[in-house]
Amino acid sequence: MRLLYFAWLRTRVGCAEEEIPLPPQVDNVAGLLDWLGRRSDRHADALRNLGLVRVAVNQDYVGPAHPVREGDEVALFPPVTGG
Amino acid sequence: MIRVQREDFDAGAELERLTAGNHRIGGVGSFIGLVRDMGGSDRVSALTLEHYPGMTERKLAEIEAEARRRWPLDAALIIHRYGRLEPGDRIVLVATASPHREAALAACHFLIDWLKTEAPFWKSEETPAGERWVESRAEDDAAREGWTPTLNV
């Protein structure tokens, strides 16, 4: 699956994008965030406060129970500030 | 119509084009967002807008479609810029055209309120204390919630 990071999530994780196989036992957004939070110190720091993290799967906003599958594009970012 | 671009836009020319040849249109509503020189109590010398290519266009198109469902619009335009901008620079143009002013003005207001909470853009400000990410504002969420019923976009 393809992971994308934007704004301060990108700077804290240290990359804009990474390609990973769907981790074992992960089948939804909450599980993926939990797994990512243990991936590295940088990921742990970026995902420390999940209240500030928005998730889009295949370019649609989703909640923690939304399923994730091999091949999905999953984007993590803070609340938007455009306009 | 949706455009996401680095370049500036000419608001007058855009409005002209929006209504060209359509004489049913009796009113145009427009909003232009500009870069402010203050962020909180700090001077802002520039800001950089980042976005999520693909999802941005998709969300803006959804928001435009929702406005067209709610009001009888003859034309609608959203132009949003990205990249590094300085105080006074234009960030966004929203324009709507309709036979009557009520629909044009309401739809324009709706579009900018929804865009601010739904379109995946992020601002980073350059201040004397360094560069920092702008935080989302509760007022923006409240403004969006004012437009009921809530739409799941």
Within-domain flag for B146: no
Provide the domain count of chain B. Answer: 1
Domains of chain A with CATH codes: 2-77 (3.10.20.30)
**Structure token pair of residue A36:** 């990512």
State the CATH number of the domain containing residue B47: 3.90.1170.40
- Is the bond into B149 cis (omega within 30 degrees of 0)? yes
Within-domain flag for B78: yes
CB contact under 8 A, A80 and B136: yes
Instruction: For residues B29 and B108, give the distance between their C-alpha atoms in angstroms, rounded to a whole number.
Output: 6
Containing structural domain, residue B129: 2-135
A44: helix, strand or coil: helix
Cβ B60 vs Cβ B80: under 8 Å: yes
Instruction: For residues B111 and B107, give the distance between their C-alpha atoms in angstroms, rounded to a whole number.
Output: 6
Say if strands A73-77 and A54-57 run parallel, antiparallel, or are unpaired: antiparallel
B89: helix, strand or coil: coil
Residue B153 has pLDDT above 80, yes or no: no
* Tens digits of residue pLDDT in B46-59: 999 999 999 999 99
Within-domain flag for B144: no
Instruction: For residues B109 and B20, give the distance between their C-alpha atoms in angstroms, rounded to a whole number.
Output: 22
Within-domain flag for B11: yes
Confidence at residue B149, expressed as pLDDT on a 0 to 100 scale: 66
- Please state the φ and ψ torsions of residue B45, each to the nearest 5 degrees: -95, -20
CB contact under 8 A, A80 and B117: yes
Within-domain flag for B25: yes
Within-domain flag for B96: yes
Tell me the pLDDT of chain A averaged across its residues: 97
Instruction: For residues A80 and A34, give the distance between their C-alpha atoms in angstroms, rounded to a whole number.
Output: 22
Identify which of A4, A7, A59 has the shortest CB distance to residue B122.
A7
- Please state the φ and ψ torsions of residue B24, each to the nearest 5 degrees: -75, -25
CB contact under 8 A, A56 and B116: no
Residue whose token pair is 């601010």: B116
ipTM score here? 0.95
The predicted model gives B34-42 an average pLDDT of 91
Identify which of A56, A78, A81 has the shortest CB distance to residue B55.
A56
Within-domain flag for B153: no
CB contact under 8 A, A80 and B122: yes
Within-domain flag for B147: no
Nearest residue in chain B measured CA to CA from A4: B52
Chain A / chain B CB contacts < 8 angstroms: 71
The predicted model gives A6-17 an average pLDDT of 98
CB contact under 8 A, A80 and B54: no
Reduced to 3 DSSP states, what percent helix, strand and coil does chain B have, rounded to the nearest 5? Answer: 35, 35, 35
